[in-house]
Amino acid sequence: VRHESSALPVVHHSKYVCDLPPNHRFPMGKFPRVLQCLLGDQVITEKQVWVPEIASKDLLRCVHTEDYLDNFINGKISEQEQRRTGFPWGTVLAAEVALQRGLACSTAGGTHHAFPSYGSGFCLLNDLAVAAKYTMDNSPNSPSTKRKVLIVDLDVHQQGDGTAFIFKEEPFVFTFSVHCGKNFPLRKQQSDLDISVEDGLEDKDYLSTEAHLPWLLETFRPDLVLYDAGVDPHWEDELGRLRLTDQLYQRDLFVLKTVVKRGVPIAAVIGGGYSKDIDRLALRHSIVHRA
């Protein structure tokens, strides 16, 4: 535990970025820009920044297959597999800090399309699944009593084709996804609760879907919530197809307040967001930290 600051812990690492080809669709530069945005606007100070260690192979093995990890780490992913991904972040630390402090946010994360044996949709390793599995396996009374984890995924793309597939037979993890039904992935998996919305949905109708959250907290009674606060439902997003405004702030505030007031720890990641204007995108991704 860091004692210098009692304010919101924000998880960030300078190596959240890697080189991509020119004009690549994934806006890799948004991750450091989110932190710069938060520091520049004095939302946070340097004392609030927590730096994760690189994820070990042993940690990643709790979700991903040995063959996939060997190929990934040793740079042996085939061209066909690379096309599927479209090209490890600190979500485990955010989960650990949330369990200590009640609330933590990352400046990256939400790579929910990665399966155990392959990556997909700009996602190479499934950070939400690894963090959930790590949290369960390292429960204080494990293995007799595992921690229960609720994953709230409000990225515009269905979480189920990765995270829900991994946990489809795991009773200690509940997957809840609100997503655009006609958007990626074409072939949906089944979350524990899927809310599929139509193209063009606006703020009021979208925010009404949050009514499920209090019920889930009361019935599932999680020990930790992992929150994917994707901003790709925004009307300016290049891959979103919904019509939300900066009322995303009200969405994030509702999720955080609803969970925190029940005394449940919550770790938030930024999820999806796509724009060629990195500064505007980073500002949009900082909404969850501001909330």
Report the alpha-carbon distance of residue 247 to residue 38 in Å, rounded.
19
**Residue 97: pLDDT band by 50, 70, 90 thresholds?**
very high
Please tell me what DSSP assigns to residue 155. S
Residue with tokens 């630390």: 93
Calculate helix-pair angle for 30-40, 278-285, nearest 10 degrees. Answer: 70
Sign of CA dihedral 95, 96, 101, 102: positive
Q: What is the pLDDT of residue 161?
A: 67
Q: What is the pLDDT of residue 113?
A: 75
User: What average pLDDT does the structure give for the chain?
Assistant: 85
Cα-Cα-Cα-Cα dihedral of 218, 224, 229, 230, to 10°?
-110
Percent of the chain residues past pLDDT 70, beyond the cut:
81
**Residue 18: pLDDT band by 50, 70, 90 thresholds?**
low
CATH homologous superfamily of domain 10-289?
Answer: Histone deacetylase domain (3.40.800.20)
Report the alpha-carbon distance of residue 233 to residue 287 in Å, rounded.
13
Q: Which of 19-28, 98-107, 112-121, 181-190 has the highest mean pLDDT?
A: 98-107
- Nearest in space to 288 (alpha carbons), one of 96, 2, 13, 8: 8
